[in-house]
Amino acid sequence: MSNIADELFGVVPIIPTPFTENEDIDENALRDLIDFAIAGGIKAVCLPAYASEFYKLTDEEKLRVVKVAVDHAAGRIKIVAQSNHPSLKIAIRLAQANVEAGADVISLAVPRIFNLPENSLKEYLSEFLQAIPNTPVLIQDFNPGGSSISVSFIKNLMDENPNFKYLKLEEPLCAPKFDDIIKTTNDKIGLFEGWGGLYMLELIPIGIRGVMPGLAVADILQKVFDLRRNGENRKAFELFEKVMPQIFFSLQNMELFHYAEKELLIARGVLSNSIARKAAYIPDASSISYIKELNQNIIDLLQDEKYGITPLEANLSK
Does residue 197 contact residue 13 with C-beta atoms inside 8 Å? no
Spell out the long-range contacts of 142-146 with Cβ–Cβ below 8 A and sequence spacing 24 or more. Answer: 142/50, 142/109, 142/110, 142/112, 142/169, 142/170, 142/171, 142/194, 143/110, 143/112, 143/171, 144/112, 145/112, 145/115, 146/115
Does residue 288 contact residue 250 with C-beta atoms inside 8 Å? no
Distance separating alpha carbons of residues 203 and 191, to the nearest angstrom: 10
Asked if residue 212 belongs to a known ligand binding site, the reply is: yes
CA end-to-end distance (rounded Å), the chain: 35
Distance separating alpha carbons of residues 35 and 246, to the nearest angstrom: 23
Measured CA to CA in angstroms, residue 118 lies from 112, 150, 233, 281 at distances of: 11, 9, 39, 33
Surface-to-core class of residue 57, CB atoms within 10 Å of its CB (0-12 exposed, 13-18 middle, 19+ buried): middle
Does residue 281 contact residue 268 with C-beta atoms inside 8 Å? no
CA dihedral 201, 11, 222, 290 (to 10 degrees): -80
Distance separating alpha carbons of residues 178 and 170, to the nearest angstrom: 11
Q: What DSSP letter does each residue of 230-289 carry, written as one string?
A: TT-HHHHHHHHHHHHHHHHHHTTSHHHHHHHHHHHHHHTTS-S----PSS-----HHHHH
Which residues does residue 82 pair with via DSSP β-bridges, in sequence order? 107
Helix (H) or strand (E) holding 83: none
Distance separating alpha carbons of residues 185 and 178, to the nearest angstrom: 11
Residues making up the annotated binding site for pyruvate are 212
Binding residues: 212
